[in-house]
Chains A and B, each alone.
Chain A
Amino acid sequence: MENYMKLEIAALSENESFARSAVAAFALYLNPSISELEDIKTAVSEAVTNSVVHAYAGGGAQNKISIECRAEKTQEGGVLHITVSDGGCGIEDVEKAVLPFYTTLENDERSGMGFTIMQTFMDGFALESEKGRGTKVRMFRKLGGNREGERMNA
């Protein structure tokens, strides 16, 4: 069984909370644990914040962010696929952008950990971006069943 939703929101920082809560509410379809939900909310928050802060340089109601989710029920539990995309400035150097602690906004108390968190908290992560052509983050998270331990214990 599959389930699907698509959301389009104005690129306003006020919507960061709404976006992660909406995805978490959708994910309930797959009966996730509290900690799985926390991880999903955090990853979505990172992706949406990037679009507001970086893609659209601080946001603006005329700019849009799209969030698409597909939920798949499996024997073990389920898989939640999330795509966050924007039509913003794009990323010049994708390889550099995903490095831990790398940020283009040094003076802004940005940690540079957004992509690292998405990669670590989710089971799959892909980043597509090109300067001037927007950014698309695709990620998925397996829910329920046995994940290979809590990888964060390392």
Chain B
Amino acid sequence: MQICTDYQDKVLYLRLSGEMDEHNAAAARLYADRLAEGYAQSEKAVIDLKDVSFMDSTGIGFLIGRYKKFRRYGIPVYVTNPSPGADKVLRMSGVYTLMPRI
């Protein structure tokens, strides 16, 4: 699991790639949280799942955890480009009510 970042017009983009499972999540969590601290001035954060080839319920925990982390800095989080499989997991868990899909 890799995360690339991009910061444009006060929007922080986190582009995730690879497989999101229990094994891979820990490093991604640490990295994303460090970004939240480093970009605390962001007006919003967008988590881009375009290159995530697999996601199980670990993804739910990961996204909700990041939502909480960013919220501490007053930064709303959005999710974009989930694969149909990831979308199914995220829809059934209600993740989009916290962080809308855009």
Q: A residues bordering B, Cβ < 8 Å?
A: 13-14, 16-17, 20, 35, 38-39, 41-42, 45-46, 49, 52-53, 108-111, 113-114, 116-117, 120-121, 152
Contact = CB atoms under 8 A, between A and B. Distances in A.
Nearest to A43: B56
A37 to B, nearest CB: 9
B58 interface: yes
Nearest to A12: B23
A58 to B, nearest CB: 10
Nearest to B87: A152
B92 interface: yes
Interface string B46-90: 000000001111101110110000000000000000011100110
Contacts of A39: 85, 88
A14 B91 CA distance: 27
Contact of A42 (B22, B25, B85, B93): B85
Given A53-B22, A117-B92, A111 B61 contact: yes
A46 B57 contact: yes
Contacts of A108: 61
A14 B23 CA distance: 6
Closest 4 CB pairs of A and B: A13-B23, A111-B60, A38-B85, A109-B61
Given A17-B21, A110-B61, A113-B93, A45 B84 contact: no
A38 B56 CA distance: 10
